[in-house]
């Protein structure tokens, strides 16, 4: 038997006989959707990857086991390694493999492998887990001492379609494990677009439906984020309440922003103080990295009996140390570093196919590249406005533009360049532009509206969204809709940086410098969502300010090729205050090479740090400390200790910025960044891949032609090729032959055949069959018109009788019915359409028929 028969006739009956009802068996569980790969401006997907079976603890309950099936030609253990890989990733304790006759188990609780006669029952697996994992017992006491169903075992919400993805299920279980083990707080770190709010909803669903918890507070720092969460928790219906002027005590789930909770009433009492300290069992802090523990402290201290769950979309970095220490401090690794309960990076999400891939366009103007030299510009006629008391420097760097000095000519040049890119890619693609200030955002908005508004006919092509005031909120809500036609481009400062969902956004534009890796990752996440409504599978980053230097291993899918490894290099150094050179204790020092982090350490009381076992090459070192501006340096490291001193400056009080005009600004450098991770296929790689897949489906070039000549077999072949990500339209793109016939493109990729254009095929067909525009018969005129249709758009254009409802058939014959009358009935029409398709693709040496 093949695998399908083995599963249906041998494994399924065996599972049912051993106590696994249909409600507990989920077949072809999606593990990976298939990674999106880019070829030019087109995207293709790898094939999805499925677990043959997942076996659940109750309907919609947690996964107990993974089972991989093999056909009868394999041994029963041949799928065990594959099942074990799934189990380790998904966080499951039991992996099984079977060929329908034998059964092998890998128990990850004991690391034992054994042959079995039958499948263990659900009750047996549950007992084996709970005996080793106290948090997994079927029942337990809630905080009030009442025996309830374990929330981990409680069925998830019965979603209409899909349900939770594997990493979402694992995140929910990880948070519950932390809660049930007696810890007081935990952190979930998942990239933007992976569904953190949906995870929070399912966590609350399990806790409240099981009876383990009674009330939940969802805490955000923006009204839009609060409202998004309120809507995500829709199935709770009237159990939800928004914290506004007074606490909605009658509700089970409260949604608030900390600014409201912290506000005082007329009696001087803050809103959060109106709640009893033990009112909530769970407090969820959304985007907890944004404000850090300091802003939440008094509120969380008030609800100190509740479990505190922080959710973030960024990994631990120098500017998120406090967040990790507070929320993940009870869960430390072997080196004592705080760890999230579960982590799922942007790169992993891209590799699994759950997030959109991206490509990078880096652009630099001449003054960003070389600096703005004031005296030189004044000598060439520029005008400079200097506010009273403002110092004037000899040269200004990119990081100072729009902060220390306004350079309108630079903004205009960038906008004109961006407009050119958008005309090329599609001016109606949703775009976010991140600007330095509200004024800068307004000027960029005005330029983009002037440049593309009239061309697109949209009065609100470009808008500025910088606040949650009613007008801004209305614009934001319209911009978020995939179906909306305007606004198309939104300029902002930081309002859209985090939490705001715009799935159809295809372009993320940096017109402001970004120094924080956390902020960079938040902005990057605005484009990472897939959007089926607009067929979006990838997005673009247009970087005018070198923000993409902050790309690292969190953002990149697994890379191939040579990777730097640890070596004998040693780096020692000291971090000091620039003014006075006093040592800075507790400064974060991160040492990286490319996308790999080799060290993440803190300075001691003397500001010193020491990092051994580094590769002997030039490394990037970032240093940051509370109350100081961060700094990045490049350091060559060798076997002999390399010593450096890094000085950090305290932020200087701002002064009103200078304004300069009349500066000549040009685009000095523009490059496409191809990520060294295999995400983007080269032309040669795609052609080779398409050829290999085609050869798997057709044995020879002659077989390919035979199947292509017939509409039915051609349609089946097209469908089979599509399943394995072979698309003739992409072949035409990468081969630079949009004029070529699709058959010839496939034959070229698979068998090295010459590529012929549709024009060449049409000409050969016309010569062989005496086709001309001056044909005297009705059939001749129709064949000549069909040949022209093929020449313009390909064989699919003439594969259906619908083509006969177009010109020139409507004016010449009166449409389909007129053609039917001219040829003597519908059957001759069908036969002629089939004949023309067959004649366009003659087999070598075949007798020409007419």
What would the pLDDT profile of 294-308 be if each residue is shown by its tens digit?
557 888 999 999 999
Predicted confidence band at 585 (pLDDT cuts at 50, 70, 90)?
Answer: very high
Q: What is the pLDDT of residue 676?
A: 47
Q: What is the mean pLDDT of residues 323-342?
A: 87
212-221 burial string, b = 16+ CB within 10 Å, else e?
bbebbbbbbb
Residue 810 tokens read as 């409507």
| Beta-strand pair 216-220/372-373 | unpaired
Buried (b) or exposed (e) across 83-118, using 16+ Cβ within 10 A?
Answer: bbebbebbbbbbbbbbbbeebbbbbeeeeeeeeeee
Distance CA 581, CA 560 (A): 43
Percent of the chain with pLDDT over 70: 93
Instruction: Share the mean pLDDT of the chain.
Output: 87
Which two tokens mark 615? 């590769």
pLDDT of 249 above 80: yes
Whether the per-residue pLDDT at 241 is higher than 90: the answer is yes
Q: Would you say residue 293 has pLDDT above 60?
A: no
C-alpha angle 504/510/512, rounded to 5°?
Answer: 140
Mark 122-153 as b/e (b = at least 16 C-beta within 10 Å).
Answer: beebbebbbeeeebbbeebebeeeeebbbbbb
Question: Which two three-digit tokens encode residue 139?
Answer: 């029942």
Set out the domains of the chain in order of their start, with CATH numbers. 3-132 (3.90.1570.30), 146-344 (3.40.50.300), 357-550 (3.40.50.300), 569-648 (2.60.40.10), 683-756 (no CATH), 759-839 (no CATH)
Q: Are 487 and 463 in contact (CB under 8 A)?
A: yes
Coil, helix or strand at residue 727:
coil
Residue 3 pLDDT: 87
d(CA 213, CA 594): 45
The confidence score (pLDDT) of residue 805 equals 82
Q: What is the pLDDT of residue 723?
A: 72
Which pairs from 773-778 meet CB under 8 Å and 24+ separation?
A: 778/813, 778/822, 778/823
pLDDT of residue 746: 93
**Residue 72 near residue 99, CB atoms below 8 Å:** yes
Contact 466, 437 (CB under 8 A): no
CA-to-CA distance for 707 and 698, rounded, in angstroms? Answer: 9
Q: Is the pLDDT of residue 658 over 90?
A: no
Q: What percent of the chain has pLDDT over 90?
A: 49
DSSP for 63-85 reads EEEEEEE--TTS-TTTTHHHHHH
Calculate the alpha carbon distances from 783 to 770, 804, 836, 848 in Å: 10, 11, 7, 16
Q: For 698-712, how does the pLDDT look when each residue is reduced to its tens digit (9 = 90+)?
A: 989 999 999 999 989
Helix axes of 196-210 and 223-232: crossing angle, nearest 10 degrees: 50
Q: How far is CA 395 from CA 173, 374, 376, in A?
A: 55, 6, 10
Distance CA 412, CA 701 (A): 55
Q: Would the pLDDT of 772 be above 80?
A: no
Q: Given a cut of 90, is residue 484 above it in pLDDT?
A: yes
Which of these, 331, 308, 505, 320, lies nearest to 422 by C-alpha position? 505
Inter-residue long-range contacts of 5-11, CB under 8 Å, 24+ positions, other chains counted: 5/71, 6/69, 6/70, 6/71, 6/72, 6/99, 6/100, 7/52, 7/69, 7/100, 9/100, 10/100, 10/101, 11/53, 11/67, 11/69, 11/98, 11/100
* DSSP symbols for 660-696: EE-----EEEEEEE--TTS-B--HHHHHHHHHHHHHH
pLDDT band, residue 682 (cuts 50/70/90): low
Distance CA 658, CA 672 (A): 33
What DSSP character marks residue 472? H
Q: How far is CA 41 from CA 536, 555, 680, in A?
A: 12, 21, 11
If DSSP codes are grouped into helix, strand and coil, which group holds residue 568?
coil
Q: What is the DSSP track for 580-605?
A: T--B-TT-EEEEEETTEEEEEEE--T
The helix (H) or strand (E) run that includes residue 465 is none
**pLDDT tens for each residue of 412-435:** 999 999 999 999 999 999 999 999
Q: Residue 202 in contact with residue 239, Cβ under 8 Å?
A: no
CA distance 87 to 292: 35
718: helix, strand or coil: helix
Query: What residues have CB less than 8 Å from 564, skipping those under 6 apart?
Result: 593, 594, 596, 615, 617
Whole-number pLDDT of residue 498: 67
Is the pLDDT at 365 greater than 90? The verdict is yes
Task: Tell me the three state secondary structure of residue 343.
Answer: strand
Rounded-to-integer distance, Cα 662 and Cα 674, Å: 35
Instruction: Please determine, for residue 849, whether its predicted confidence score (pLDDT) is greater than 50.
Output: no
**pLDDT-derived band at 774, boundaries 50, 70, 90:** low
Do the Cβ atoms of 497 and 523 come closer than 8 Å?
yes
Q: Is the pLDDT reported for residue 561 higher than 50?
A: no
């Amino acid at each position: 038997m093949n695998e399908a028969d083995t599963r249906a006739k041998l494994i399924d009956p065996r599972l049912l006989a051993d106590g696994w009802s249909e409600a507990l068996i989920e077949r072809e569980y999606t593990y990976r959707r298939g990674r999106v790969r880019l070829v030019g401006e087109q995207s293709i997907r790898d094939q999805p990857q499925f677990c043959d079976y997942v076996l659940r603890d109750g309907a919609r309950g947690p996964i107990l086991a993974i089972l991989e099936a093999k056909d009868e030609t394999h041994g029963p253990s041949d799928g065990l390694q594959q099942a074990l890989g799934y189990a380790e990733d998904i966080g499951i304790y039991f992996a099984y493999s079977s060929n329908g006759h034998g059964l092998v188990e890998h128990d990850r609780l004991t690391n034992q492998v054994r042959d079995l006669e039958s499948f263990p029952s659900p009750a047996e697996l549950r007992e084996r887990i709970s005996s080793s994992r106290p948090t997994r017992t079927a029942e337990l006491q809630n905080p009030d001492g009442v025996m309830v169903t374990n929330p981990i075992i409680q069925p998830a919400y019965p979603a209409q379609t899909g349900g939770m993805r594997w990493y979402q299920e694992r995140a929910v279980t990880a948070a519950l494990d932390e809660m049930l083990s007696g810890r007081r707080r935990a952190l979930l770190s998942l990239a933007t677009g992976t569904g953190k709010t949906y995870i929070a909803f399912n966590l609350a669903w399990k806790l409240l439906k099981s009876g383990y918890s009674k009330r939940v507070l969802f805490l955000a720092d923006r009204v839009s984020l609060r409202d998004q969460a309120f809507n995500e928790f829709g199935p709770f219906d009237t159990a939800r309440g928004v914290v506004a002027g007074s606490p909605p005590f009658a509700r089970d789930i409260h949604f608030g922003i900390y600014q409201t909770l912290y506000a005082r009433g007329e009696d001087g009492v803050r809103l959060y103080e109106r709640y009893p300290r033990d009112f909530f069992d769970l407090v969820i802090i959304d985007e907890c990295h944004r404000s850090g523990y300091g802003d939440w402290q008094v509120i969380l201290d008030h609800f100190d009996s509740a479990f505190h769950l922080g959710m973030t979309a960024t990994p631990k970095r120098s500017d998120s140390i406090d967040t990790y220490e507070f929320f993940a401090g009870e869960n430390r690794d072997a080196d004592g570093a705080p760890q999230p309960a579960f982590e799922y990076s942007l790169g992993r999400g891209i590799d699994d196919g759950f997030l959109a891939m991206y490509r990078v366009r880096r652009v630099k103007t001449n003054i960003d590249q070389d600096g703005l030299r004031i005296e030189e510009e004044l000598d060439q006629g520029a005008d400079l406005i200097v506010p009273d008391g403002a110092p004037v420097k000899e040269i200004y760097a990119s990081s100072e533009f729009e902060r220390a000095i306004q350079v309108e000519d630079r903004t205009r040049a960038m906008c004109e360049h961006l407009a050119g890119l958008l005309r090329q890619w599609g001016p109606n693609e949703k775009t976010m532009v991140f600007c330095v200030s509200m004024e800068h955002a307004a000027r960029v908005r005005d330029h983009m509206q002037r440049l593309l508004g009239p061309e697109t006919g949209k009065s609100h092509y470009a808008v500025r969204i910088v606040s949650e005031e009613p007008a801004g909120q209305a614009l934001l809500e319209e911009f978020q809709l995939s179906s909306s036609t305007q606004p198309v481009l939104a300029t902002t400062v930081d309002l859209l940086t985090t939490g705001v969902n715009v799935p159809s956004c295809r372009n993320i534009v940096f017109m402001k410098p970004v120094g924080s890796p956390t902020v960079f990752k938040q902005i990057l996440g605005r484009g990472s969502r897939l959007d089926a409504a607009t067929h979006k599978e990838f997005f673009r980053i247009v970087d005018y300010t070198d923000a993409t230097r902050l790309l690292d291993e969190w953002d990149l899918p697994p890379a191939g090729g040579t990777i730097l490894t640890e070596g004998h290099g040693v780096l020692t150094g000291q971090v000091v205050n620039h003014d006075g050179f006093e040592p800075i204790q507790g400064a974060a020092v991160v040492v990286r090479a490319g996308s790999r982090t080799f060290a993440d350490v803190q300075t001691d009381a003397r500001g010193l740090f020491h990092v051994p076992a580094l590769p002997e090459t030039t490394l990037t070192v970032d240093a940051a400390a509370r109350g100081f501006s961060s700094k990045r340096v490049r350091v060559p490291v060798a076997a002999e200790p390399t010593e450096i001193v890094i000085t950090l400056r305290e932020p200087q009080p701002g002064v009103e910025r200078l304004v300069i005009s009349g500066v000549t600004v040009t685009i000095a450098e523009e490059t496409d960044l191809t990520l060294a991770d295999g995400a983007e296929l080269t032309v040669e790689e795609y052609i080779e891949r398409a050829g290999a897949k085609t050869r798997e489906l057709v044995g020879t070039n002659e077989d390919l032609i035979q199947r292509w000549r017939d509409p039915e077999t051609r349609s089946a072949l097209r469908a089979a090729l599509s399943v394995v990500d072979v698309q003739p339209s992409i072949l035409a793109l990468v081969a630079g032959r949009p004029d070529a016939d699709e058959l010839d493109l496939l034959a070229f990729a698979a068998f090295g055949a010459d590529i012929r254009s549709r024009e060449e095929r049409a000409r050969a067909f016309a010569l062989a069959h005496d086709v001309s525009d001056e044909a005297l018969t009705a059939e001749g005129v129709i064949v000549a018109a069909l040949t022209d249709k093929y020449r313009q758009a390909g064989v699919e254009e003439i594969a259906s009788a619908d083509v006969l409802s177009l010109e020139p058939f409507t004016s010449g014959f009166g449409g389909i019915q007129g053609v039917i009358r001219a040829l003597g009935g519908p059957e001759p029409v069908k036969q002629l359409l089939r004949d023309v398709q067959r004649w366009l693709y003659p087999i070598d040496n075949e007798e020409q028929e007419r």
